[in-house]
Amino acid sequence: GVTGMEEILARVVAPLPTYETRDKSPPPPESNSLDFMHFYGSLEKEDKLGFLAKLTQDFGVDHKSVSELALRLLDTQLRDVATVLQVEDRLRYGLTPRYKQLLNHISRVEGGVKFLVDLRADVLEIISSKASESPHIRDLNGTLKSLLSEWFSVGLLRLERITWQSPCEILQRISQYEAVHPVRNWTDLKRRVGPYRRCYAFTHAAMPGEPLVVLHVALTEDISDNIQSIVREFATLDSEEDVNKINAAVFYSISSTQAGLQGVELGNYLIKRVVRELQSEFPHMAQFSSLSPIPGFSSWLQGLLGQYRKEGRGSDLLSEQEWKEVEQATDSAPGPPAAEALRKLIATGEWMRSERLTRVLEPVLMRLCAWYLYGEKRRGYALNPVGNFHLQNGATMWRLNWHADTSPRGVANSCGVMVNYRYFLTETSKNSALYLQNKVIVASEQVLGLVSQFQKNSKL
Ligand SMILES: CC(C)(COP(=O)(O)OP(=O)(O)O)[C@@H](O)C(=O)NCCC(N)=O
Give per-residue pLDDT as tens, 45-104: 989 999 999 999 999 999 999 999 999 999 887 789 999 999 999 999 999 999 999 999
**DSSP-assigned states of every residue in 284-302:** T--EEEE-B--TTHHHHHH
Ligand 1 centroid–CA 449 distance in Å is: 29
Q: Residues 9-41: pLDDT tens digits?
A: 999 998 889 999 999 988 899 999 999 999 999
Q: Find out whether 236 and 182 touch, Cβ atoms under 8 Å.
A: no
Nearest atom in ligand 1 to the alpha carbon of residue 263 is 12
181 part of the active site: no
From the CA of 254, give the closest atom in ligand 1: 22
Ligand 1 center from residue 234 Cα (angstroms): 29
Nearest C-alpha neighbor of 200 from the set 237, 222, 170, 243: 170
Q: How far is CA 231 from the centre of its chain?
A: 22
3-state DSSP of 401-457? ECCCCCCHHHHHHHCCCEEEEECCCCCHHHHHHHHHHHCCCCECHHHHHHHHHHHHH
Confidence (pLDDT) at 311: 63
| 377/357 Cα distance (integer angstroms) | 29
What is the CB neighbour count within 10 angstroms for residue 244? Answer: 7
Ligand 1 centroid to residue 446 C-alpha, Å? 26
User: Over the chain (460 residues), what is each successive 10-residue block's mean pLDDT?
Assistant: 86 92 90 96 93 95 94 87 93 95 96 98 95 92 97 96 96 93 92 94 95 96 95 67 86 96 95 97 96 97 84 72 83 66 89 90 97 97 98 98 95 97 98 98 98 84
Distance CA 211, CA 216 (A): 13
The question of whether 390 is a catalytic residue gets the answer yes
| Residue 432 CB-density burial (10 A; 0-12 exposed, 13-18 middle, 19+ buried) | middle
pLDDT number for residue 314:
57
The residue contributing the CA closest to ligand 1 atom 20 is 255
Answer yes or no: are the C-beta atoms of 213 and 254 closer than 8 Å: yes
Cα distances (Å, whole numbers) of residue 129 to 49, 118, 122, 123, 126: 12, 16, 10, 10, 5
Best of 212, 389, 413 for a ligand 1 pocket test (most atoms within 8 Å of beta carbon): 389
Ligand 1 atom closest to 265 (CA): 12
Round to whole Å and give the CA distance between 99 and 16: 9
- For CA atoms 174, 175, 176, 181, the dihedral sign is positive
- 81-94 and 63-75 are packed helices; what angle lies between their axes, rounded to 10 degrees? 170
Counting ligand 1 atoms within 8 A of each CB, the residue from 176, 178, 256 with the most, and so the one to mutate, is 256
Ligand 1, residue 257: give the atom nearest the CA: 17
Q: How far apart are CA 363 and CA 351, in angstroms?
A: 14
CB-defined site of ligand 1, < 6 Å = 179-180, 213, 254-256, 262-268, 386, 389
Task: Give, for ligand 1, the residue of 202, 254, 273, 418 to mutate: max count of ligand atoms closer than 8 Å to Cβ.
Answer: 254
Considering only CA atoms, which of 144, 267, 164, 272 is closest in space to residue 212? 267
Distance 395 CA to ligand 1 centre (A): 15
pLDDT value, residue 76: 82
ipTM of the prediction: 0.95
Tell me the Cα Rg of the chain.
Answer: 27
Sign, CA torsion 24/26/32/33: positive
**Residue 279 CB partners (closer than 8 Å, separation 6+):** 285
pLDDT, residue 457, reads 83
As a whole number of angstroms, the distance between CA 301 and CA 95 comes to: 49
pLDDT of residue 132: 87
Other Cβ atoms closer than 10 A to 72:
13
Q: Quick one: pLDDT at residue 458?
A: 77
Return the residue whose CA atom lies nearest to atom 7 of ligand 1: 267
How far apart are the CA of 267 and the centre of ligand 1, in A?
Answer: 6
Cβ neighbors of 445 (< 8 A, separation 6 or more) are none
Ligand 1 mean position, distance from CA 179 (Å): 10
Give the number of residues written for the chain.
460
Neighbours of 458 (CB within 10 A): 16
Q: Which is catalytic among the residues 224, 289, 390, 414?
A: 390
d(C-alpha 369, C-alpha 292), whole Å: 13
> What amino acid is encoded at 216 in this protein?
H
Nearest to 205 by CA among 253, 163, 152: 152
Check: CB of residue 147 under 8 Å from CB of residue 123. Answer: no
Helix, strand, or coil here: 178? coil
